[in-house]
Structure 1
Amino acid sequence: MSQQPQHRPGPPYAPTTAALGGIPSVIPDVPISAVFIAIYVAFATINMVIFQLNNRRAYKFVPSVALFGFCMARIVTLSLRIAWANRQTNVRLAIAANIFVNAGILIVYVVNLIFAQRILRAKQPSIGWNTALRILYRVLYAGIACALIMVITAVVLSVYRLDPYTLRACRDVQLTSGTYLLVITALPIFLTAAAYLLPRTPNQERFGDGKMRTKAVIVIATACLCMLNAGFKAGTAYSPQRPLHDPAWYHGKAPFYVFNFAVEILILCVLTLTRVDKRFYIPDRSSEPGHYSGRVESSPESVGEVAVGKQRREEVATLSDV
């Protein structure tokens, strides 16, 4: 079936340039999407079960809920792609599907930033708990939200306007947002490196189960996979635009599913199967040096929590190297 549009009756206007994944069709997109949906449903179930079991023991680990939310967002993404495959001329479905493709993975970017921050705070408390770094993290989170809003706005505008100036501005916004998100995916590597390469401090802390080296490997591995995902999107965005009927190899369906959903499944495997809910757990209301290890109580009401933390640290001390 030819993908070249015969006319543009919009708005919204059907695209004239090739995009990642192209226009989906019933074969092969529907069966492939269905398989990925089943995998995301499994990981969503696992992460929610982990959260509920931990929560019953007063062991709250919010990143498990975030990973559950990420899986649910991906289920919606692939469901929209299936709907689009059955309604190829529906431009509004195409807009929604493309927005969710770009939005869902941001949850994982934030989770990995949080894990890297916890390693830095444990290994270098004077730096990790510094007010300037706290402010920087808030700025980074605000920047991620702004990047998402900018991408959504650019995607919507690009199918409702035809003037070259607006289309060029939308492309510039998408390039800027993609570059920013690529930088965000690399930050956990630098934060983890700083935690280990800077001079050791005598007031280091431990948190969660397992060795700190294993936690660092998890963060770096996740960051590399996130960089692969974000780098592919940014690289294709910077490449010259191609006509809809003459896409490049990277616009194909195979690269789309591999560099997006297959890579994300690998990320979920790393974060779920290594039980980050145990490795990266910290006591509630931790807000200053000493809270991770329970040397400093966060509030009078948290005495019971500190006692639990001490018991957990005794268990951690008996663990063998992972």
Structure 2
Amino acid sequence: MGGPYAPVIAQLGGRPTKNVDIPICSVFLVAFLGFGISHMVLFRRNLARGHKFIPSAVTFGFCMSRVVANVIRITWACYPNNVRIAIAAQIFVAAGVLLLFILNLLYAQRMLRAALPALGWSRPVSWTFKALYILVVISIIMLITVVIQSMYTLNANTHRIDRDIQLYGATYFAIVSFLPLPIVSLVMLFAEKEKVDSFGSGSWRTKGLIVFVAGTLLCLGASFRAGTSWMAPHPIYDPPSYMHKACFYVFDFGIDISVVILFLFSRVDKRFHVPNGSSKVRHYRGSDGAEKGSSVEQIQKDETQRDIESSSS
């Protein structure tokens, strides 16, 4: 153990330079900051009206992580030989996008539960989604660990193990980003509109379109990163064309900001809002529906009690 050692393998985007990366990162920094603040403003306004939608705050957190990622990449361009800054840049670029994967999968899950409640609210499916979320957290911890470890050792076997874990992580994240697409397709094909448990505002078709477009973009970026990871490593002085800076900014920050903008202007805070406590009652009818159901049950109990009393008398 020693180091940290400078990487010898070509990476997506390569080492940033002042004349190219600083202007591009500055534009993305301002964009993520502006749209992040917009999501937070929506969250605060909705919360003041009693309209609690936590995904807006999560999107704000994602934008702030992308702001930090761009700041670190600008710093790396100013200090290109600082390996510790390079490590931090890689970690923030890899970790942030997972929040968007989880949000889009959450929206798809809400559509599944509304359209096919017997399936969506079943315990095996609910446990499967929870396992996916937990495995995302475990996987990103593993990836952060191996990224740091690979920079502090020259042991070939350790590098092999680290690469295997990185390939697993890139593949798993690509699968998670893809999952909303078959879920929404299943919902749109087999859901009976008159039986759909309505939630949020807007049409059912628009909800599906939002999740499908966001899922396609996120899956495109994750699949590109996974595909390039599975390619044979190239030396850092001879990177392949798919490791170009343009590919990095398009398939990372470009797709991320597109999804953030999509969530903002499509008003997911209205379309995918569900009443508090829905997971406990296993429906999206809200407290009114629950109170209505309980009042009907109470009336039936009262009528039954009166019948018993009258028959006994």
Structure 1 and Structure 2 fold alike (TM over 0.5):
yes
Q: Which of these residues, 265, 270, 273, is aligned with residue 265 of structure 2? A: 273
In the alignment, is the contact (CA less than 8 A) between 1:207 and 1:293 conserved in 2? no
Q: Which of these residues, 58, 80, 87, is aligned with residue 79 of structure 2? A: 87
Range with greater deviation from structure 2 (290-299 or 70-79): 290-299
Q: Secondary structure at the match of 1:183?
A: helix
Cα distance change on mapping 1:61 and 1:199 into 2, 3 Å:
closer
* Letter of the 2:53 counterpart: F
Residues 210-221 of structure 1: pairs in structure 2 closer than 5 A = 210-221=202-213
Cα distance change on mapping 1:284 and 1:242 into 2, 3 Å:
same
Do structure 1's residue 290 and structure 2's residue 290 form an aligned pair? Answer: no
Q: Secondary structure at the match of 2:44?
A: helix
Q: Which of these residues, 162, 165, 169, is aligned with residue 173 of structure 1? A: 165
Do structure 1's residue 105 and structure 2's residue 94 form an aligned pair? Answer: no
Alpha-carbon separation, structure 2, partners of 1:254 and 1:213:
34
**Cα displacement string for residues 166-203 of structure 1 (whole angstroms, at most 9, x for unaligned residues):** 10110000000111111001111111122233363864
**Cα displacement string for residues 116-143 of structure 1 (whole angstroms, at most 9, x for unaligned residues):** 0110111111111111111001100011
Runs of 4+ aligned residues of structure 1 deviating over 2 Å after TM superposition are 196-204, 288-300
Alpha-carbon separation, structure 1, partners of 2:191 and 2:204:
16
* Letter of the 1:197 counterpart: L
Q: Secondary structure at the match of 2:289?
A: coil
Per the alignment, residue 220 of structure 2 pairs with 228
Do structure 1's residue 25 and structure 2's residue 17 form an aligned pair? Answer: yes
Deviation at 1:10, TM superposition (A): 5.3
Identity of aligned residues (%): 40
**Cα displacement string for residues 205-237 of structure 1 (whole angstroms, at most 9, x for unaligned residues):** 111111011000000100000001101110110
- Structure number with larger C-alpha Rg: 2
Per the alignment, residue 51 of structure 1 pairs with 43
**Cα displacement string for residues 244-293 of structure 1 (whole angstroms, at most 9, x for unaligned residues):** 10001121111111111111111112111100001001111112343346
Residues 97-246 of structure 1: pairs in structure 2 closer than 5 A = 97-198=89-190, 200=192, 203-246=195-238
Q: Secondary structure at the match of 1:99?
A: helix
Alpha-carbon separation, structure 2, partners of 1:129 and 1:262:
35
* Letter of the 1:149 counterpart: I
Do structure 1's residue 256 and structure 2's residue 248 form an aligned pair? Answer: yes
Range with greater deviation from structure 2 (223-232 or 285-294): 285-294
Per the alignment, residue 6 of structure 2 pairs with 14
Per the alignment, residue 309 of structure 2 pairs with none
Q: Secondary structure at the match of 1:192?
A: helix
Cα distance change on mapping 1:185 and 1:299 into 2, 3 Å:
farther
- Indicate the RMSD between aligned Cα atoms, in angstroms: 1.9
* Letter of the 1:176 counterpart: Y
Q: Which of these residues, 51, 55, 69, is aligned with residue 63 of structure 1? A: 55
TM-score by length of 1: 0.87
Deviation at 1:72, TM superposition (A): 0.1
Q: Which of these residues, 12, 29, 48, is aligned with residue 37 of structure 1? A: 29
Alpha-carbon separation, structure 1, partners of 2:126 and 2:167:
27
* Letter of the 1:70 counterpart: F
* Letter of the 1:63 counterpart: P
Cα distance change on mapping 1:23 and 1:246 into 2, 3 Å:
same
Q: Which of these residues, 62, 65, 69, is aligned with residue 73 of structure 1? A: 65
Alpha-carbon separation, structure 2, partners of 1:248 and 1:36:
25
Q: Secondary structure at the match of 1:222?
A: helix
Cα distance change on mapping 1:251 and 1:175 into 2, 3 Å:
same
Alpha-carbon separation, structure 2, partners of 1:142 and 1:129:
19
In the alignment, is the contact (CA less than 8 A) between 2:276 and 2:286 conserved in 1? no
TM-score by length of 2: 0.90
Q: Secondary structure at the match of 2:284?
A: coil
**What stretches of structure 1 of length at least 5 have no aligned partner?**
1-8, 304-322
Q: Secondary structure at the match of 1:21?
A: coil
Per the alignment, residue 3 of structure 1 pairs with none
